[in-house]
Structures are given as structure tokens and as C-alpha cells.
Amino acid sequence: MNLTQTDWTTQLEADTNAVILDVRTEDECNEGIIEKAINIDIHQGQAFIDAIGALDKNKNYYVYCRSGARSGKACEIMNELGIANAYNLTGGVLAWNGELV
């Protein structure tokens, strides 16, 4: 599900079962990530699929990338692998007004 930054952050802050997932490359993450995010690079192919498959399917995942395209695809893959609650940050970090660490 695509969410605007306002909806994404509001829902995330109220969610006690949340995991933030950054699907960018390691180099992109080195430029800054949203605090507490876990990085699983979508460009890793089967390793990405394996890592997503190993995630707790009972958690709610807040997913982002640089612009929102890769994270949208990641959410689709997550849904296919049985993770029902994957929320894409529309616009990615390019549209992010919050702090990066």
C-alpha cells in the first residue's frame, strides 16, 4: 500500500509492531537512513527474496527507497511472500522531510 509521508509517519509512530525497511543499496544507505531502518537491498536478487522470506510475517513493514519505485516493488514481493502489511513511502527519501542518521 502506498502512503504519503504524513500518513506513513503517523501510522508508523502509532504502530507498536512496526519494522522500517530500507531497500536501497549500501552506498545509498551510507548517505543516511531513517532511524532504526533495516537495510535489505532489492538489487540483491535471490538474496533479497531469501531475506524477505525470513522476516516475521506478523510484523508491519514500512518500506522506502530513494524515490518510492523500488520500495513499491518490494512491497509487491513482500505481499507475494505472505507479508500482508507492507507500506510504501511515496516519494522515498527524496521527499522525506524527517531526519536521516
Residues 62-93: pLDDT tens digits?
999 999 999 999 999 999 999 999 999 999 99
Is residue 29 part of the annotated active site? The answer reads no
Catalytic residue among 40, 42, 65, 75: 65
Q: How many CB atoms lie within 10 A of CB 47?
A: 11
pLDDT of residue 27: 97
Q: Where are the domains of the chain?
A: 2-95
CATH number of 2-95: 3.40.250.10
Q: Which of 52, 48, 58 is nearest to 78 (CA)?
A: 52
